[in-house]
Structure 1
């Protein structure tokens, strides 16, 4: 089983780690785009182009893949349809949606932590209207948090979490993490909000959906390996990735020196 994950940076780590936990023999191709990140500030056409370039690079490096996973809300909003036009039906393409629906099952009030661009988007408003109708939902624009996580600067992360926590109503008991970067600092977010707050992330749901779409392929009889691409070039996991448990777990599988 060969799975491509396409994102601008290390926000994909939590989803990649969840895929590995669910299917330890799968080979993972992590296609990052450091030359053009962050994608959130780019136009929809630019995001589509970068997502396609990342998926094509992973396909070529792997000699074909069994699934393309997009663990990025921005790329899912803008690029999923175009990716599916190119790869499906032969290869399933799985996007990422903020976990508003499961958070709403427990009732409100809810907060949705997202990038400033996603917070302003009609996409997020439609999700709230569809899955959390009648509930009190606060959209929190987490200015600088994704960038702080990407840099792995603990002071910047602490400041960004504190800023977002200050915008979150004190009676909120469920917080949806609407950017996959935020998954990597979940403990810091809980500490900033208080232990009574439940975090809802998409990583495990995306991993489960990926394996459902791929189907029951035979196990390879060996542990899966990781190949990293940086804007299409063979690379290693960024140093910042090793700050996070998901990054360290994937580093143990990394095999960039020899072909898979």
Structure 2
């Protein structure tokens, strides 16, 4: 079994780590283009072409499924990627976990990139799945970039800025960018009011990993032998390992322990 994941940068690490945990026997392909980040400020046409480039590079490795582990790419380029690659290759997009967050009642905050915050796509999800629930959209300028660079001071500053604009009585926070899942505990600490019930964070990594397995008729086997191999593609070219910043996060270190596919 071979599962591919793509993103502009290291936001794909969260979903890749879950796939590896569920199926340690599966080969993984991670395809990104960190030199073109951030994708959010780009035009839809430019973003779509860059996302297609990452998707094509991953598809050339002949995976069984491809996860678009990027909210921005899923918003703007998922249809184009599916039109080109499906039905031969199942493509799984990443949707902010607004539905499960709203199911627990409000207030709910959605942390997302400025490009996604307020977009018709996100507003549509709120309308469809969070009707009657108090929802606050919180743009997080600079947070994804800071996570990509593993810049501790910039991460803390961006998290603090977003937390200051998050209602203090919030009960759940949707992590609307895959990069944010790599710093989930920092976000939780920043939004947790003293002496209040724990704020629940809702990411997408677990859901998209499980959906990828379902699409190819596979089931989780976390007890399987860890014999999966890793292929890293940066800007379409094969690399020996993920970018150095990936090693700043547990998810990246868990993948770095995999044997390179070419070894």
Quote the residue 2:173 is aligned against: 175
Q: CA deviation at 1:196?
A: 1.8
Cα distance between partner residues in 2 of 1:121 and 1:254: 40
SS of residue paired to 1:35: helix
Matching of residues 177-196 of structure 1 within 5 Å: 177-194=175-192, 196=198
Select 2:112's aligned residue among 111, 114, 119.
Answer: 114
Q: CA deviation at 1:222?
A: 5.5
Name the count of aligned residue pairs. Answer: 256
Listed as ranges, the gaps of 5+ residues in structure 2 are none
Listed as ranges, the gaps of 5+ residues in structure 1 are none
SS of residue paired to 2:82: helix
Cα distance between partner residues in 2 of 1:203 and 1:221: 22
Cα distance per residue 1:60-104 (max 9 Å; x no partner):
2x2x11111101011111111111111111211000000000001
Matching of residues 33-112 of structure 1 within 5 Å: 33-60=33-60, 62=61, 64-112=62-110
CA 1:16–1:37: 2 relative to 1, 3 Å: same
Q: CA deviation at 1:51?
A: 1.5
Matching of residues 156-167 of structure 1 within 5 Å: 156-167=154-165
Cα distance per residue 1:89-138 (max 9 Å; x no partner):
12110000000000011100000000111102111111011100011100
Once superposed, which parts of structure 1, at least 4 consecutive aligned residues long, lie more than 6 Å away? none
Cα-Cα RMSD: 1.7
Q: CA deviation at 1:239?
A: 0.9
Quote the residue 1:223 is aligned against: 227
> Given that residues 3 and 68 in structure 1 are in contact (C-alpha distance below 8 angstroms), is that contact kept between their aligned partners in structure 2?
yes
The TM-score normalised by the length of structure 1 is 0.94
